[in-house]
Amino acid sequence: MTLFDLTWRNVKNNFQTYFLYFVSMVFSILVFYLFNSINYNQQVTQAVGNKMNFLLSFGSILTAVFSAIFMGYSHAFFTRRRKREIGLYNLLGLQRSQVAKMLFCENLVMGTIALASGIFLGVLFSKLFTMLLLNLMGHYVQINLFISPRAVFNTVGVFLLVFLIISWHAHRIIYRFQLVELFRAEQRGESQPHGSVRLALLSILLIAGGYLVALNPQLVFLFPVYAVLVLGLVISGTFALFKSFSVFALQLARRNKQHYYWGMNLISNSNLLYRIKSNAAMLATIAVLSAITLTAVGMSYSLYFGAGEEMQKYFPFSYVYLEGNLNEDRQVDAVIAAYPQHGVRADVKIPYLELEGKIFGITGFHRTAQIISESSYLDLIRARGVNPDIKLKNPGEAILFAQGNPSNLQGETFIIKNEHPVTQEFQITEAKPYLLMNTMFFTLVVSDGDFAQMTKVQAPAVVRGILVDRQAKSAELSQELNQKFNLLSSFFDQYRWNLEQSGMTMFVGAFLGLVFLLATGSVIYFRQLNEAGKDHLNYIILRKIGVGRREIRRSISRQVMVIFLFPLLVGTVHAVMALSVLGNLLYKNLTIPIAITVVAYTLIYLFYYLLTVDSYDRLVNAPGQ
Amino acid sequence: MNIVLEARNLKKVYGSRGNAYPALDGIDLQIKEGEFVGIMGPSGAGKTTLLNLIASIDNPTGGTIIIDGDYLVTMNEDQLADFRRQKLGFLFQDFNLLDTLTVKENVVLPLALARVPAAEIEARVSRMAVLLGLQEILSKYPYEISGGQKQRTAAARAIIHHPRLVLADEPTGALDSRSSTELLQCLADLNQKNATTIMMVTHDAFAASYCRRILFIKDGILFSELVRGGTRKDFFHKILDVLAVLGGDNRDFI
């Protein structure tokens, strides 16, 4: 038997253990290839240009880095688990270098198989996924089956490098083992961890502090400080939480003897307590990763599905341009008339003034405001078939229409700079979170009298807004108008841009989320199975003294549930927090995207949970043992 | 006296047809309440097989086992598990303590599994601790205590739920002679003071001499029986005589 035979045999026999690891490896490779192949796809470039290159490159770099970390971690773990086997080879007279060579080959064989499968599946599915992406971005293009040599080259190159580094690392571990150490049984009965109440409290305080900072909108303006503070507090708090609070909680559960001395609780609790020390870092990492994934996916999801409705609020008209002369108006009308499917629903011209100012209450809050008269406001509203719902009572008052959430400016005073001679101040009596006209991001509606006074000093500009039917499908019309005239804003361009950006983000976000999810799920899986292997004897003892298989299975289900649920719960809370803060910043209600993302994530996790319970149970509880 | 254990024409065949090897070939035995019975015989005589069958860990090929009125062969797996938990106590050669539990938790286990109220558990544990001298080590872990202490812990676990029958499989096999003597004295005391019914498998004549009655098996059948009459020393010599006739495993004959 040659070394290669031995290698091949090992790979085959360990396949069961490696299966999930292998799956997530293949998936990472698939995603990496997919991102690359889309990047190099000519048809995609024709359809949407190079806009996506950055995001896709970023996504594939993230995939590669994450996979490298995940594979490195898994490999170190597997190698350590096989200590005894390695020792046996040594004892049987295989030289260390030979064993090392064997392990190196094993990794390489596995890596090659994974690489081949990943690329094969990538090629197979790239057409489907590329079309899915373009669909999300609002382009309906038939994509040909396409093998991108450059993408294959990149994938093979990057992942071979990763495998080489990992294999080299695994191979170094062997030289560090001592032969005696290899045969020493896994250290049993390591001392019971002590939960420090102080550290447990501190972990809660750290996380709460992070949340408080996050919720404090004033600090957003110092973004780097804000981000570092929030992330630092929450992440360190999470690690402390898993390290100490978990021990503390388990020990607290022990105090209640009635509960602790009840059926298998004794066993589940102490199994968890003993392993929490070695599991804490992993679980905390998984919680943080879950939070990031949930936030990213939830965010991109809401961007995507918010894209349509948000647009209406900020882009009430299909086309907007600054009024030049009547001749131009007639040309525009002629162009639109050539597209009968896009009938004109509203057509409005209003005068406005653009002035610099500052808001009194908030120090240094400078804004450029667009000022229009109350009758222009009525024109705009009525043209779109909406009933006006606000009224100015006195001169010197103004109603604000702005992006986002301007309600906190209600009651403030807007002071026009440059010592404007007529009316210098307007009190904002009401603030509305939408715009009256595209590109008028901070509109003040003032009384006709005030407006007339102001126009005596400065002549107003006139803007024309046109609303057409089926504006979301007006690609050709928009293109023609854009070419011929100098438009200030076009609904369709903005709409398409939004759709492209958010569709892309969602696509990349969802795939990255899946890569994270599969990897973290499989890490929990093989760690749990490793523990099952160690606990095997304990379960035999329990069965001998009269614990039924069903009861053992129930206890395993509960024990593994804690391991899966704890990081998921913490991750979800973090993500909900992050998304609600982001929701406030972006003036969106993210409840539904959060709910959908969390449910989807939980379902995939549930699958891993059931798989783990089943394998665990089969390992310690199979009939015939 | 009630009969705790009754086995009739017990048979166990290992392997399949053509390659069958009978480990037990028709054993009849009865153990009454309050007895301390030893099972002896040379290696391969079927001692452990007999114990496993009675412990309901293994199924017989033929015959019946009745423990405290329950017919083992008619029970399904879950019923058997309940049965073991409620009516049997176990002592193993290698202790079989759970290494993630303290001594106290190990002792408590059968009661916790039976869902006994915590207050009663505490009371019973303290009684056991006194009975078996575990007070000092209750909060220690198995890896922190000696072999003898481990086996006394296991003994406490075996009897804390007042089983109808305690099954001991070579309980002194992994102990030094002092710990062995201590443990055997403990078992004898439990038998006499608490009227605990014990069945002990051993190939050590010294250990067997603590029993009240000994059954010798050889090649899967009952070979002879000895009942203790006089002192333990006399009994010990009688056991040696029988073993000499029995032959085979004689490493403990010195």
Give pLDDT tens digits for A453-501.
888 888 888 999 998 888 888 888 888 888 888 888 888 888 888 888 8
Give pLDDT tens digits for B198-241.
999 998 899 999 999 999 998 888 888 999 988 999 999 999 99
Burial of A124 (0-12, 13-18, 19+ CB in 10 A): exposed
pLDDT of A612 reads 92
- Assigned domain for B83 exists: yes
For A487, half-sphere exposure in the C-beta direction (CA atoms, 13 angstrom radius) is: 22
Task: Give A275 or A468, the one with higher predicted confidence.
Answer: A468
Separation CA B46–CA A12 (nearest Å): 40
Q: Which of A188, A258, A547 sits opposite B81 (nearest CB)?
A: A547
Chain pair A-B, CB pairs under 8 angstroms: 89
**What is the β-pairing status of strands A365-373 and A442-446?**
parallel
- Assigned domain for B99 exists: no
Burial of A320 (0-12, 13-18, 19+ CB in 10 A): buried
Whether B202 and B41 have beta carbons less than 8 Å apart is answered as: no
Separation CA A438–CA A467 (nearest Å): 11
Separation CA B53–CA A536 (nearest Å): 22
Sheet bearing B21-32, strands edge to edge: B21-32, B3-14, B62-67, B70-71
pLDDT of A12 reads 74
Q: Do B113 and A263 touch (CB under 8 A)?
A: yes
Non-local (6+) Cβ contacts of A433 within 8 A are: A313, A402, A403, A404, A405, A406, A407, A587
* Cβ contacts of A538 on chain B, cutoff 8 Å: 98-100
* Cβ contacts of B97 on chain A, cutoff 8 Å: 541
Separation CA B166–CA B211 (nearest Å): 13
End-to-end Cα spacing for chain B: 38
Please give the biggest Cα pair distance in chain A.
101
Q: Do B101 and A274 touch (CB under 8 A)?
A: no
Which residues lie across from A465 on neighbouring strands? A320, A348
| pLDDT higher than threshold 60 for residue A244 | yes
Distance of residue A610 Cα from the nearest chain B Cα, in angstroms: 23
* Cβ contacts of B103 on chain A, cutoff 8 Å: none
* Cβ contacts of A543 on chain B, cutoff 8 Å: 81
* Cβ contacts of B99 on chain A, cutoff 8 Å: 188-189, 538
Q: Which of B88, B99, B122 sits opposite A188 (nearest CB)?
A: B99
* Cβ contacts of A257 on chain B, cutoff 8 Å: 118, 121-122
| B141 touching chain A per CB within 8 A | yes
Q: Do A262 and B115 touch (CB under 8 A)?
A: yes
pLDDT of A496 reads 84
Place of tokens 């304990």: A538
- Assigned domain for B71 exists: yes
pLDDT of A307 reads 66
Model confidence at A182, pLDDT cuts 50, 70, 90, reads: low
pLDDT of A384 reads 81
Q: Pick the residue of B67, B79, B83, B113 with the most A CBs within 10 A to test the interface with A by mutation.
A: B113
Please give the biggest Cα pair distance in chain B.
57
- Using DSSP, state whether B36 is helix, strand or coil: strand
Q: Do A266 and B105 touch (CB under 8 A)?
A: yes
Q: Pick the residue of A531, A544, A551, A553 with the most B CBs within 10 A to test the interface with B by mutation.
A: A544
Ranges of chain B with pLDDT below 50: 250-254
* Cβ contacts of B98 on chain A, cutoff 8 Å: 267, 270, 538, 541-542
| B247 touching chain A per CB within 8 A | no
* Cβ contacts of B86 on chain A, cutoff 8 Å: 546
- Assigned domain for B55 exists: yes
Q: Do A266 and B121 touch (CB under 8 A)?
A: no
Give pLDDT tens digits for A39-55.
888 888 888 877 778 88
Separation CA B103–CA B129 (nearest Å): 10
Separation CA A155–CA A151 (nearest Å): 6
- Assigned domain for B251 exists: no
DSSP-H helix ranges across A40-95: 42-48, 53-81, 83-91
Query: What percentage of residues in chain A have a pLDDT greater than 90?
Result: 16
Which residues lie across from A307 on neighbouring strands? none
What mean pLDDT comes out for the span A139-167?
87
What mean pLDDT comes out for the span A436-453?
88
* Cβ contacts of B100 on chain A, cutoff 8 Å: 189, 267, 270-271, 273-274, 538
Name the residue among B41, B38, B29 with its Cα closest to residue B212.
B38
By C-alpha distance, the chain B residue nearest A623 is B77
- Assigned domain for B179 exists: yes
Burial of B119 (0-12, 13-18, 19+ CB in 10 A): exposed
Distance of residue B228 Cα from the nearest chain A Cα, in angstroms: 30
> Mean pLDDT in chain A?
83
By C-alpha distance, the chain A residue nearest B113 is A263
With an 8 Å Cβ cutoff, the interface of chain A facing chain B consists of: 188-189, 192, 257-258, 260-267, 270-271, 273-274, 538, 541-551
Separation CA B81–CA B56 (nearest Å): 8
Give pLDDT tens digits for A94-108.
777 777 787 788 888
Non-local (6+) Cβ contacts of A385 within 8 A are: A345, A346
pLDDT of B167 reads 94
| B90 touching chain A per CB within 8 A | yes
Which residues lie across from B218 on neighbouring strands? B221
Question: Looking at residue B39, which CATH number applies to its domain?
Answer: 3.40.50.300
What mean pLDDT comes out for the span A124-149?
86
Give pLDDT tens digits for B173-208.
888 999 999 999 989 988 998 888 999 999 889 999
Range of the domain at B238: 3-92+164-246
Q: Which of A270, A541, A546 sits opposite B88 (nearest CB)?
A: A546
* Cβ contacts of A550 on chain B, cutoff 8 Å: 78
pLDDT of A108 reads 81
Task: Give A607 or A300, the one with higher predicted confidence.
Answer: A607
How many domains in chain B? 1
By C-alpha distance, the chain B residue nearest A624 is B58
- Using DSSP, state whether B198 is helix, strand or coil: strand
Q: Do A266 and B112 touch (CB under 8 A)?
A: yes
pLDDT of A189 reads 47
- Assigned domain for B252 exists: no
* Cβ contacts of B142 on chain A, cutoff 8 Å: 189
- Assigned domain for B142 exists: no
pTM (two decimals): 0.81
Whether A294 and A601 have beta carbons less than 8 Å apart is answered as: yes
Dihedral of the alpha carbons of A609, A302, A135, A123, in degrees to the nearest 10: -30
By C-alpha distance, the chain B residue nearest A540 is B96
